[in-house]
Amino acid sequence: MLVIATDVPNAVLRWGTPEAEPLGRVSVGELRGYAREGHFASGSMGPKVDAACRFVENGGSRAVITSLDRIVDAITGDGGTVVVPN
């Protein structure tokens, strides 16, 4: 498992808009699709999303993106963005 600590609890679609949607459990394919749509800024969440996807694509069981205060919950599957194989 790869754990990526950041300053927000989840990766978010449509960040900064009224339609913002935190991502929970998501497959690599789904997450790559969201990235292609431009949901993750290259200087912010983009590199974290890419690293999580690459880890899982290369045999990791899952990757978690979350804030420091939510790491325990994310590891147990109760929080954060959890990236799993397709």
CB 32, CB 85: distance < 8 Å: no
Exposure of 23 in the CB half-sphere (CA atoms within 13 A)? 26
Predicted TM-score (pTM) of this structure? 0.94
- Rounded Cα distance between 48 and 42, Å, is 9
pLDDT of residue 85: 98
Mean pLDDT of successive 10-residue segments in the chain (86 residues)?
96 96 97 97 95 98 96 92 96
CB 24, CB 45: distance < 8 Å: no
Q: Count the helix, strand and coil residues of the chain and give each as a percent rounded to the nearest 5.
A: 35, 25, 40
Domains of the chain by residue range: 2-84
pLDDT of residue 12: 97
User: Fold for domain 2-84?
Assistant: Carbamate kinase (3.40.1160)
